[in-house]
Amino acid sequence: MTTVTEIAPDIFRISTYVPEGGLEFSQFLVRDEEPLLFHTGMRGLFPIVRDAVATLIKPEKLRWIGFSHFEADECGSLNEWHAVAPDAVPVCSMIGKMVSVDDFAPTPAKGMVDGEEFSTGAHTFRFIQTPHVPHGWEAGLLFDITQRVLFCSDLLHQSGEISEPLTSTSVMDRARQTLVEYQASPLANYFPYTPMTDPILQKLADLDPRTLAVMHGSVFEGDGKQALSQYAGLVREVFGAAPNVRAAS
Ligand SMILES: [Fe+2]
Ligand SMILES: [Fe+2]
């Protein structure tokens, strides 16, 4: 089942539980003069996501498609969206644009550099470059300065079918369980732990977000600074100490 939830004024979470993967995939629509979708979802989800977007805006009016890194759940249906909304422009890091997106998508992307801002009308976004956080050379995130919403991709990932689209209760226990379970599975080494990991997570915490728009699991509303600082500790604990070389071999 797909649910649509307004998580902040004119920012909607479109979420679908995929039983085969045992997790929810969420896309976020910002309804503005120039509507923005953050994450497209995989190609297989496209009809569902398009129909959900159609309950909020005319899909052909979509103007921006943002995402963190080049993966199917982040941007897999860019081309399907292009067929519906030919004026929609991908928004990603300059690295993502140069390395993958301009080869994959029919419309050249807006390649962003760290700290660069752009507006969709009532909302202003800042791009934060986050190399290898959560993963991928090209990774980056968008921060809605207007509503203090951080679109945080795989950060705070919580597996399973979760009943709360939006919660102000800590999601850290669920996030910990997911990372620990993944480490003992073929999905191990979700995050590469590098000398940049902790400074990047602290930089995100310093944005002092009010809402963490998580791709997999509940959106967290509350003290985003504290939640991201705690999450930095969790990532250090799980990935920073002993590498899972068994899974990597
Ligand atoms: Fe990812
Ligand atoms: Fe993801």
245: pLDDT strictly greater than 80? no
Mean pLDDT over 95-121 rounds to 97
pLDDT tier for residue 163 given thresholds of 50, 70 and 90: confident
State in Å: Cα 21 to ligand 1 middle. Answer: 13
pLDDT tier for residue 242 given thresholds of 50, 70 and 90: low
146: pLDDT strictly greater than 70? yes
Q: Which two tokens stand for residue 243?
A: 């590498």
Tell me which ligand sits closest to the C-alpha of residue 23. Answer: 2
* Strand partners for 29: 12, 37
Q: Comparing C-alpha atoms, which of 221, 172, 169 is closest to residue 5?
A: 221
State in Å: Cα 153 to ligand 2 middle. Answer: 6
84: pLDDT strictly greater than 90? yes
State in Å: Cα 118 to ligand 2 middle. Answer: 24
Mean pLDDT over 213-236 rounds to 98
6: pLDDT strictly greater than 60? yes
248: pLDDT strictly greater than 80? no
State in Å: Cα 143 to ligand 2 middle. Answer: 17
Percent pLDDT > 90 in the chain is 95
Mean pLDDT over 9-25 rounds to 97
State in Å: Cα 81 to ligand 2 middle. Answer: 19
Per-residue pLDDT, 57: 98
108: pLDDT strictly greater than 90? yes
Q: Which two tokens stand for residue 135?
A: 């993963």
State in Å: Cα 73 to ligand 2 middle. Answer: 6
Contacts of 233 (CB under 8 A, 6+ apart): none
Per-residue pLDDT, 241: 79
Tell me which ligand sits closest to the C-alpha of residue 216. Answer: 2
State in Å: Cα 99 to ligand 1 middle. Answer: 17
247: pLDDT strictly greater than 90? no
State in Å: Cα 60 to ligand 1 middle. Answer: 27
Question: In angstroms, rounded to a whole number, what is the distance separating the alpha carbons of residues 227 and 171?
Answer: 9
83: pLDDT strictly greater than 60? yes
243: pLDDT strictly greater than 70? no
Percent pLDDT > 70 in the chain is 97
User: Which CA distances in Å does 184 have to 161, 177, 180?
Assistant: 20, 11, 7
Q: Comparing C-alpha atoms, which of 47, 41, 55 is closest to residue 12?
A: 55
Tell me which ligand sits closest to the C-alpha of residue 138. Answer: 1
Q: Comparing C-alpha atoms, which of 65, 76, 153, 70 is closest to residue 109?
A: 65
State in Å: Cα 229 to ligand 1 middle. Answer: 20
Q: What is the side-by-side strand order in the sheet with 89-93?
A: 2-8, 11-18, 23-30, 36-38, 64-66, 89-93, 110-112
State in Å: Cα 56 to ligand 2 middle. Answer: 23
65: pLDDT strictly greater than 60? yes
Mean pLDDT over 105-132 rounds to 98
